[in-house]
Amino acid sequence: MTDAGLPSGWEVRHSNSKNLPYFFNASSKESRWEPPDGTDLDKLKAYMAQNTRKPEGKIHAAHLLVKHKDSRRPSSWKEENITRTKEEAIEILKAHERRIQSGEISLGDLAQSESDCSSARKNGDLGIFGKGEMQKEFEEVAFALEPGQVSGVVDTASGVHLIQR
């Protein structure tokens, strides 16, 4: 395993055309956007945070979203018609927050199965963004976090979130 948490033979490269990182296996010549099987995702996230230069004024963040019946689009990849109340969504999110803060599980690992956002398949990773690109409430909290820090409950029109910078 490399310092980036990738299986042997794999490396992180940068696509100039898409301005995004991708994964390349020099021996098989395989390239892919998603990390290869066997990747230590926590190590990869730490490696990317240390070795990826972000454009000035932009940050990298991930999140876990729990929608409720009053969300602007109360459906997700997990559930076609979300009927839970906002209060129920907050309680679910607070339980997730306790698991993350206890060290039992990472936000990214939990987002894969529990987030109502399509970013769940990327461990909740939203990529790099600047001010004015996200909902105001989300942006204010995300930009106030230190790298690696996880927020408390953040309420937006999309639902309730935990955000990790």
Task: Kindly list the catalytic residues.
Answer: 63, 117, 135, 158, 161
R_g over Cα of the chain: 17
79-83: long-range pairs with CB below 8 Å, 24+: 79/116, 82/116
The tally of CA atoms less than 13 A away on the side-chain side of residue 7 is 10
Q: How far apart are CA 36 and CA 50, in angstroms?
A: 20
Distance CA 112, CA 39 (A): 15
Tell me whether strands 58-66 and 30-32 are parallel, antiparallel or unpaired: unpaired
- Determine the Cα angle at 93 with ends 91 and 94, to 5°: 65
